């Protein structure tokens, strides 16, 4: 296939269909990072299933009606902006912008900056991120605006586990629970790895579930690389909104999921595959929607 | 000052509080956020009248900036309130990424700026904030000079689309700007017309500049006093027209001599119309505890310092 029509979102999309979309998103990720020889494939691959489930099944959104305010739409904020290749692919495949634009990732004059930004007017992106720890506060603000506007839709945020080392996260955690921001579903990509090594070696997070519970959040746990489990967890999370507590999903993933030589290590957090490695990666990922 | 009689003695932060309350009544999208300094920022009247539009964030300024940025998504116009130090230096990266780079319509309102904060001392007396905010692309920087102008500026920035840094202070200070004098973002105000020297001032030092002009007049020096309430974008036309006439400039600010109003004027002059300039500013140091008057005197920001700077700069013409 040489071209790929955007995929319409549908609540009836099945697990197997979602898995096929996720496979294409993984191809897009490694091809984007290879194309500019920079970027962060590891966490992007690990979160491909999350993005697929969120954008093709969970979010109530209309890419054709995208605007900054997003009134009466569910909103998503990526706090760990370095996994932008996964988000860009998801946005393009959902119809926010042409899929062929993925070829411009991290290149001069592109809307697809290394880290996401509103600055270049890319549809689907409502906040700049990259400097870590800021997205939870932003999500809370957007959730508060929804409440003020009488808008019953939800706000979703995604964070890295290493990102939780930033103090602002815990300021925001305290605020959201203390002020009953219960239209917010946040997720931590709990892959246990960061640039310098395993999170437990760099700066241990301790008992993460106990911490979020102690901060007053409703906490769910799931396997972020099991599509069926993800869908069930999102359904549970949605059912827990509106009950006085923000909802946290601790999502276990494997960094580099889907590409064997990128898994089980932090090594592929932020480096690009060469031509040979690209070929190997693509041989492991079925082209389901047509490469850009 | 015959042309600018003292109308009252009020703190500029109360001008902010009054302006915010008026905005609350006229614009339902205006929301307030404060990091445990509601009384100090004079946001309590807004909080009382619009509790659903006021967010007590607690002592967590980074979170406040992020929440403010998020609130703009959905059409709110957030006004954050805390001390100038905690409004800028403490949260520079949050402002840079989530507000300035993201182009969010947040109004960062900062009280207790400069030396005139007084007795709390150097930890709280930020003298670098104008420079920090000026350097951010797209940020508008406003330093009003009295209660009336702070009230006007607070109302004006709500109608301005884009991030704004509004800097004001703690002490009671002469009120001398007539309410009828219109405030326009980016438009400097020539308060006294003169021909020998241009004195550019902002914030509390505008009153000191007016006093200095009166002293200079007694000595036969005709000083033009220009209130540069908007430091970015700078009113280039006003600066060049005045210095084109007088041939020299003195800049007065409650800020380090690096990065503030003086540097903004110097850059304008160096680029377009080179002319001698003298700085009345803090000489690259931190402050200390004391009363506002004592501190302005000790750190060289008082009326005699402006008069002396005029003497120096006129000899360089």
**CA A142 – CA A154 distance, rounded (Å):** 9
* pLDDT < 50 positions in chain A: 1-6
Q: Does domain A15-283 have CATH number 3.40.50.970?
A: yes
Contact (CB<8Å) A148/B62 = no
Degrees, nearest 5: CA angle B132-B134-B135: 70
Per-residue pLDDT reduced to its tens digit, A4-35: 444 555 555 689 999 999 999 999 999 999 99
Per-residue pLDDT reduced to its tens digit, B240-293: 999 999 999 999 999 999 999 999 999 999 999 999 999 999 999 999 999 999
Q: What is the pLDDT of residue A2?
A: 36
Closest of B30, B86, B84, B27 to residue B62, by C-alpha: B86
How much of chain B exceeds pLDDT 90, in percent? 99
On the question of a common fold for B8-175 and B189-315, the answer reads: yes
Q: Which of A141, A149, A154, A170 to mutate to test the interface with B (most CBs of B within 10 A)?
A: A141
What mean pLDDT, rounded, does chain A reach?
A: 95
What mean pLDDT, rounded, does chain B reach?
A: 97
Q: What is the pLDDT of residue B163?
A: 98
**CA B189 – CA B175 distance, rounded (Å):** 16
Reported as type and span, the H/E element at residue B223 is: strand B223-227
Contact (CB<8Å) B97/A130 = yes
All residues of chain A having their beta carbon less than 8 Å from the beta carbon of residue B96 are: 131
The domain defined by B189-315 folds into Rossmann fold (3.40.50)
pLDDT over 70 (residue B2) = no
pLDDT, average across residues B123-139:
98
pLDDT over 60 (residue B8) = yes
The hierarchical CATH code for the domain B8-175 is 3.40.50.970
pLDDT over 70 (residue B234) = yes
Domain ranges of chain B: 8-175, 189-315
Q: What is the pLDDT of residue B3?
A: 80
Contact (CB<8Å) A141/B75 = no
Closest of B193, B228, B192, B198 to residue B210, by C-alpha: B192
**CA B98 – CA B109 distance, rounded (Å):** 16
Tokens 């902002």: give the residue: B202
User: Residues B263, B225: contact at Cβ < 8 Å?
Assistant: no
Q: What is the pLDDT of residue A7?
A: 53
pLDDT, average across residues B163-177:
98
Task: Catalogue the active-site residues of B.
Answer: 61
Q: Which of B73, B106, B161 to mutate to test the interface with A (most CBs of A within 10 A)?
A: B73
> Cα A259 to chain center, whole Å?
18
By Cβ distance, the residue of B58, B65, B74 closest to A145 is B74
Position B66 confidence tier, pLDDT thresholds 50, 70, 90: very high
Q: How far is CA A176 from CA A108, A221, A239, A275, in A?
A: 38, 19, 18, 46
Task: Please count the CA atoms within 13 angstroms of the CA of B23 that sit on its side-chain side.
Answer: 29
Q: How far is A42 from chain B (nearest CA, A)?
A: 24
Q: What is the pLDDT of residue B22?
A: 98
């Amino acid at each position: 296939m040489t071209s790929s029509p955007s995929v319409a979102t549908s609540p009836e999309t099945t697990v197997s269909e979602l898995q096929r979309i996720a496979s294409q998103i993984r191809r897009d990720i490694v091809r984007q990072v290879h194309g500019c020889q920079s970027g962060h494939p590891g966490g992007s691959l690990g979160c491909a299933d999350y993005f697929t489930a969120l954008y093709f099944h969970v979010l109530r959104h209309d890419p054709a009606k995208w605007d900054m305010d997003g009134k009466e739409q569910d909103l998503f904020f990526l706090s760990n902006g370095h996994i932008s290749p996964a988000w860009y692919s998801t946005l393009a495949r959902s119809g926010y912008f042409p899929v062929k634009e993925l070829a411009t990732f991290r290149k001069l004059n592109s809307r697809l900056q290394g880290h996401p930004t509103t600055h270049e007017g890319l549809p689907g992106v409502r906040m700049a991120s990259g400097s870590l720890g800021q997205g939870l506060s932003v999500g809370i603000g957007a959730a508060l605006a929804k409440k003020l506007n009488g808008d019953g839709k939800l706000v979703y945020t995604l964070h890295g586990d290493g990102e939780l080392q930033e103090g602002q996260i815990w300021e925001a955690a305290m605020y959201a629970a203390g002020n009953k921001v219960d239209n917010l579903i946040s997720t931590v990509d709990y892959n246990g790895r960061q640039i310098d090594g395993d999170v437990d070696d760099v700066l241990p997070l301790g008992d993460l579930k106990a911490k979020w519970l102690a901060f007053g959040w409703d906490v769910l746990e799931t396997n972020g690389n099991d599509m069926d489990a993800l869908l069930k967890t999102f359904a549970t999370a949605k059912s827990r909104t509106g009950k006085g507590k923000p909802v946290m999903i601790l999502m276990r993933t494997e960094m580099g999921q889907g590409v064997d030589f990128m898994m089980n290590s932090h090594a592929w957090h932020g480096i690009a595959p060469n031509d040979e490695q690209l070929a190997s990666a693509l041989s492991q990922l079925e082209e389901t929607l047509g490469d850009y | 000052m015959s042309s600018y009689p003292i109308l009252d003695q009020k703190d500029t932060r109360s001008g902010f509080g009054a302006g915010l309350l008026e905005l609350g009544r006229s614009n339902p999208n205006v929301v307030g956020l404060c990091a445990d300094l509601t009384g100090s920022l004079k946001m309590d009247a807004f909080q009382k009248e619009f509790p659903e539009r006021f967010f007590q964030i607690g002592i967590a300024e980074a979170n406040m900036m992020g929440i403010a940025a998020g609130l703009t998504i959905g059409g709110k116009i957030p006004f954050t309130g805390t001390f100038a130090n905690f409004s800028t230096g403490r949260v520079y990266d949050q402002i840079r990424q989530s507000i300035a780079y993201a182009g969010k319509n947040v109004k960062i309102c900062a009280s207790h700026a400069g030396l005139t904060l007084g007795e709390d001392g150097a930890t709280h007396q930020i003298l670098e904030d104008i420079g920090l905010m000026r350097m951010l692309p797209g940020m508008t920087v406003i330093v009003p000079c009295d209660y009336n102008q702070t009230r006007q500026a607070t109302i004006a920035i709500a109608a301005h689309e884009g991030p704004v840094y509004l800097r004001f202070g703690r002490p009671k200070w002469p009120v001398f700007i007539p309410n009828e004098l219109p405030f326009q973002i980016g438009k400097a105000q020539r308060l006294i017309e003169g021909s020998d020297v241009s004195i550019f001032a902002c914030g509390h030092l505008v009153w000191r500049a007016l006093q200095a002009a009166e002293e200079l007049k007694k000595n036969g020096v005709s000083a033009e006093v220009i209130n540069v309430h908007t430091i970015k974008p700078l009113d280039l036309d006003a600066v060049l027209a005045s210095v084109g006439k007088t041939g020299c400039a003195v800049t007065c600010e409650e800020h380090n001599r690096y990065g503030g109003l003086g540097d903004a004027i110097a850059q304008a002059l160096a680029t377009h119309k080179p002319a001698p300039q003298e700085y009345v500013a803090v000489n690259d140091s931190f402050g200390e505890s004391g009363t506002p008057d004592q501190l302005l005197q000790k750190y060289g920001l008082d009326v005699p310092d402006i008069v002396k700077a005029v003497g120096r700069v006129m000899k360089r013409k």
